[in-house]
């Protein structure tokens, strides 16, 4: 299902009768919370960053279980779940917010969770409890809506963490999907020399049409020693130790992918590489991206309620 970007014309949702739990996230969740509260729903939040001025109407829960108690809908962050099962929740540091079956059991049936994507742990709990999941990490429409903030965040990392200009920098980019394609265009426009490696011949052709060089993945080992910047955009662990051994020690490695990420981070640390995982770069413009995400979330809630009520108009 594609994420809606326009306000629904006729809502089937009894918003004042709805309880929404928000757990984890970054400053984008502040805007999502404001939009959710504005519907008239009861909104409880845990482990989101709170602005100094607060969010009028938002209920601050004291625990994960308290936030979910009696909730019809739970909103978990779009950045992927960490390998240990923890939700993206910088505001909760050093606590790890890991969904438990006991807490999830407190939701009101039929319960639904809207999130980026679910891991095996969360899926197992939800299957046992009959909770439906609605994932939108790979929703292309939403990805493109938040992509400008991600690309701006990527450029900021490149500027802050290198001693060279992007202009004329040699960039080896792994992947040419939705974010990769926009990264290629942005870097080419700034004068970078970009070489994209991708499995898909169509993606390699698109990279070449944008002004980059392009090669199959098998060429990556030979290209890495030439790079000033290595950019990973594929959520698959492709940059493993043997390949990281070939990265120029002065190069910057940026991973834009969701967990498990595209980089062997233990190996990168052991090698002393200048490497950064650019997770949650949509936080670069939290109001813009938060509103976009809420548009999609609201559309999902509308569809959930319509399916429940059998509304033929939805």
Same domain, 113 and 191: no
Same domain, 155 and 268: yes
The arithmetic mean of pLDDT across residues 25-53, rounded, is: 95
The DSSP output letter for 16 is G
Same domain, 22 and 107: yes
Q: Which of 220-224, 248-252, 281-285 has the lowest mean pLDDT?
A: 281-285
**How large a percentage of the chain has pLDDT more than 70?**
93
Domain count within the chain: 2
Distance, in Å, from the CA atom of 130 to the CA atom of 107, rounded to the nearest integer, reads 11
Distance, in Å, from the CA atom of 63 to the CA atom of 44, rounded to the nearest integer, reads 10
Instruction: Say if residue 80's pLDDT is above 80.
Output: no
Instruction: Say if residue 168's pLDDT is above 90.
Output: yes
The arithmetic mean of pLDDT across residues 250-272, rounded, is: 92
Same domain, 132 and 176: no
**How large a percentage of the chain has pLDDT more than 90?**
71
State the pLDDT at residue 190.
Answer: 98
Same domain, 217 and 166: yes
Instruction: Give residue 44's domain range.
Output: 15-136+285-309
- Residue carrying the six token digits 């002393």: 272
Q: Which of 13-27, 197-211, 281-295 has the lowest mean pLDDT?
A: 281-295
- pLDDT tens for 1-34 read 444 444 444 578 999 999 999 999 999 999 999 9
Q: Confirm whether 6 is domain-assigned.
A: no
- pLDDT tens for 96-125 read 999 999 999 999 999 999 998 899 999 999
The arithmetic mean of pLDDT across residues 60-69, rounded, is: 96
Instruction: Say if residue 284's pLDDT is above 80.
Output: no
Q: Confirm whether 160 is domain-assigned.
A: yes
Q: Which of 110, 96, 104 is nearest to 66 (CA)?
A: 104
State the pLDDT at residue 280.
Answer: 67
The arithmetic mean of pLDDT across residues 168-178, rounded, is: 96
- Six-digit token string for 243: 């390949």
Same domain, 229 and 173: yes
User: What CATH number is attached to the domain comprising 105?
Assistant: 3.40.50.720
Same domain, 23 and 61: yes
Mean residue pLDDT of the chain comes to 90
Same domain, 49 and 86: yes
State the pLDDT at residue 116.
Answer: 87
State the pLDDT at residue 121.
Answer: 95
Distance, in Å, from the CA atom of 209 to the CA atom of 181, rounded to the nearest integer, reads 11
pLDDT level of residue 82 (50, 70, 90 thresholds): confident
- Six-digit token string for 93: 């540091």
Same domain, 128 and 165: no
Same domain, 37 and 164: no
Same domain, 295 and 277: no
The DSSP output letter for 76 is -
State the pLDDT at residue 6.
Answer: 43
Q: Confirm whether 1 is domain-assigned.
A: no
């Amino acid at each position: 299902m594609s994420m809606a970007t326009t306000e629904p014309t006729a809502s089937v949702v009894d918003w004042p009768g709805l309880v929404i739990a928000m757990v984890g996230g970054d400053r984008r969740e502040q805007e999502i919370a404001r939009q959710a509260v504005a519907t008239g729903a009861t909104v409880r939040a845990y482990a989101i960053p709170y602005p100094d001025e607060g969010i009028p109407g938002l209920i601050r829960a004291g625990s994960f279980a308290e936030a979910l108690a009696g909730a019809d809908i739970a909103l978990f962050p779009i950045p992927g779940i960490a390998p240990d099962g923890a939700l993206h929740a910088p505001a909760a540091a050093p606590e790890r917010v890991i969904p438990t079956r006991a807490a999830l059991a407190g939701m009101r049936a039929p319960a639904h969770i809207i999130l980026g994507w679910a891991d095996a742990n969360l899926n197992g709990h939800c299957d046992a409890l009959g909770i439906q999941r609605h994932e939108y990490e790979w929703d292309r429409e939403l990805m493109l809506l938040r992509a400008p903030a991600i690309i701006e965040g990527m450029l900021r990392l490149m500027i802050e963490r290198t001693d060279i200009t992007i202009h004329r920098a040699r960039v080896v980019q792994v992947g040419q999907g939705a974010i990769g394609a926009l990264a290629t265009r942005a870097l080419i426009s700034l004068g970078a020399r970009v070489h994209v490696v991708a499995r898909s011949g169509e993606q390699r052709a698109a990279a070449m049409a944008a002004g980059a060089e392009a090669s199959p993945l098998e060429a990556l080992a030979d290209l890495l020693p030439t790079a000033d910047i290595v950019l990973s955009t594929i959520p698959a662990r492709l940059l493993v130790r043997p390949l990281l051994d070939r990265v120029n020690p002065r190069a910057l490695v940026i991973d834009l992918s969701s967990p498990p990420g595209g980089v062997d981070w233990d190996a990168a640390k052991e090698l002393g590489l200048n490497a950064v995982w650019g997770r949650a770069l949509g936080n670069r413009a939290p109001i813009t991206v938060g509103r976009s995400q809420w548009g999609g979330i609201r559309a999902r809630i509308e569809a959930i309620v319509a399916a429940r009520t059998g509304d033929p108009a939805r």
